[in-house]
């Protein structure tokens, strides 16, 4: 198990890229049947007229961002709380055959007012497709532990 | 429902979703590997991913809207064109959702305004989920485009 990632491991202003998932028509339809059964997400024929072909539910794109975040860092970050999502914008449609990755900006950091051991970090995530187009953005906060200090400091 | 039919302050009960252990794990396997790791450690009860709680609410909204549209179609009324959601703001999860919980979703219209396009109006909604103990488990705000009646054009 690699070392946990602490508050200090996310320098302010850093921009990093990670992830890479292929989105298939079957996955778009399967997700939408469970969570967002609107014709432009579930029915290729109906989608052709409405949106020029099948498009993924925005919630599906959000879920793919969550998976890429978990795999890249959230699984091993010392997260105390997912303090909420400030804003999500579904900017451009995600279509079958798209390949998505994440560009993450560390926007802000602030110490926790009532606990010296914790701090909050605000990230801006951009979900980018194979053409470099930003399909979605999300701004959200994580409450993280500070790196434990060795005794004697 | 058309723009003209929406009243500010109006609250709509959307329906309930049950969170079984299987459903929480199925979402985790696809999108939140932390849940799979917790299950492997024997963690009980399992908590649902916050995004799962939100997406299940979207399903309730789509279903509620579909039955509303079916009623309108039966009465021979014109059906409004569906608008795609541009995103959401201010998502919080005050209480976790655990396996066995049942979440009731509702949506209240907080404001409405016309847009520069005569075909569409803009509606701001406050979306809420409460569990069977009346604890708030989800809250967020969304803005959607909604079709105006044709006589306005």
Domain coordinates in residue numbering, chain B: 3-152
pLDDT in tens, A69-78: 999 999 999 8
Q: How far is B29 from chain A (nearest CA, A)?
A: 9
Q: Which residues contact A92 (CB under 8 A, 6 or more apart)?
A: A129, A133, A134, A135, A136
Thinking of the domain B3-152, which architecture would CATH place it in? Roll (3.10)
- pLDDT attached to residue A117: 79
Query: Tokens 């847009």 belong to which residue?
Result: B115
Q: Which residues contact B77 (CB under 8 A, 6 or more apart)?
A: none
A134 touching chain B per CB within 8 A = no
* ipTM here: 0.92
Nearest to B78 by CA among B8, B6, B7, B148: B148
Contact: A90, B82; criterion CB under 8 Å: no
Summary mean pLDDT of chain A: 92
Chain B: residue whose CA lies nearest to A27? B30
Neighbouring CB atoms inside 10 A of B66's CB total 12
Q: What is the CA A60 to chain-centroid distance, rounded?
A: 11
Which chain A residues are closer than 8 Å to B140 by Cβ? 85
Cα three-residue angle A67-A26-B25, rounded to 5 degrees: 40
Whether A153 is covered by a domain: the verdict is no
- Give the helix, strand, coil percentages of chain A, each rounded to 5: 30, 40, 35
CA distance A124 to A85: 10
Residue in B31, B37, B66 nearest the CB of A67: B31
CA distance B130 to B87: 21
Chain B: residue whose CA lies nearest to A81? B93
Q: Which domain holds residue A98?
A: 7-145
The domain tally of chain A equals 1
Confidence of residue A35 (pLDDT cuts 50, 70, 90): very high
Buried b (16+ CB within 10 A) or exposed e, A46-75: ebeebbeebbbbbbbbbbbbbbbbbebbbb
Greatest pairwise CA separation for chain A in angstroms:
69
Contact: B55, A63; criterion CB under 8 Å: yes
- pLDDT attached to residue A97: 97
Identify the CATH number of the domain in which residue A89 sits: 3.10.129.10
**pTM for the full model?**
0.92
A43 touching chain B per CB within 8 A = no
pLDDT in tens, A134-151: 999 999 999 999 988 876
User: Could you write out the three-class secondary structure of B56-107?
Assistant: HHHHHHHHHHHHHHHHHHHCCCCCCCCCCCCEEEEEECCCCCECCCEEEEEE
* Optimal mutation site among A4, A32, A50, A63, interface B, most CBs of chain B within 10 A: A63
pLDDT in tens, A43-101: 989 889 888 899 999 999 999 999 999 999 999 998 888 878 999 999 999 999 999 99
CA distance A7 to A147: 7
Yes or no: say if B19 and B45 are a contact pair by the CB < 8 Å rule: no
Residue A110 has pLDDT above 60, yes or no: yes
Yes or no: say if B136 and B128 are a contact pair by the CB < 8 Å rule: yes
**A19 CB-contact burial (10 Å; exposed 0-12 / middle 13-18 / buried 19+):** buried
**Element at B14 (helix H, strand E):** strand B11-18
pLDDT in tens, B56-99: 999 999 998 888 888 888 998 887 777 667 899 999 999 999 99
Residue in A37, A75, A89 nearest the CB of B87: A89
């Amino acid at each position: 198990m690699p070392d946990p990632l602490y508050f200090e491991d996310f320098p302010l202003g850093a921009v990093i890229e990670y992830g890479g998932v292929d989105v298939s028509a079957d996955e778009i339809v399967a997700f939408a049947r469970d969570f967002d059964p609107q014709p432009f997400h579930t029915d290729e024929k109906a989608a052709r007229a409405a949106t020029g072909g099948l498009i993924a539910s925005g919630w599906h794109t959000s879920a793919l961002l969550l998976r890429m975040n978990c795999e890249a860092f959230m699984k091993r970050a010392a997260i105390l709380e997912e303090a909420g999502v400030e804003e999500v914008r579904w900017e451009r449609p995600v279509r079958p055959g798209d390949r998505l990755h994440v560009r993450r900006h560390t926007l802000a950091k602030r110490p926790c007012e009532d606990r010296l051991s914790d701090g909050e970090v605000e990230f801006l995530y951009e979900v980018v497709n194979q053409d470099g187009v930003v399909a979605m953005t999300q701004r959200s906060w994580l409450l993280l532990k500070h790196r434990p200090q060795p005794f004697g400091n | 429902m058309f723009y003209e039919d929406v009243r500010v302050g109006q609250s709509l009960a959307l329906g309930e979703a049950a969170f079984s252990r299987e459903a929480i794990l199925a979402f985790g396997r696809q999108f939140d590997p932390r849940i799979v790791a917790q299950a492997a450690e024997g963690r009980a009860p399992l908590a649902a991913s916050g995004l799962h709680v939100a997406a299940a609410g979207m399903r309730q909204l789509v279903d509620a809207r579909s039955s509303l549209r079916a009623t309108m179609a039966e009465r021979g009324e014109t059906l409004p064109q569906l608008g795609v959601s541009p995103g959401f703001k201010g998502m919080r999860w005050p209480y976790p959702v655990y396996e066995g919980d049942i979440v009731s979703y509702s949506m209240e219209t907080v404001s409405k305004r016309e847009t520069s396009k005569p075909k569409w109006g803009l509606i701001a909604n406050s979306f809420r989920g409460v569990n069977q103990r009346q604890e708030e488990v989800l809250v967020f705000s969304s803005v959607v485009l909604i079709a105006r009646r044709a006589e306005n054009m």
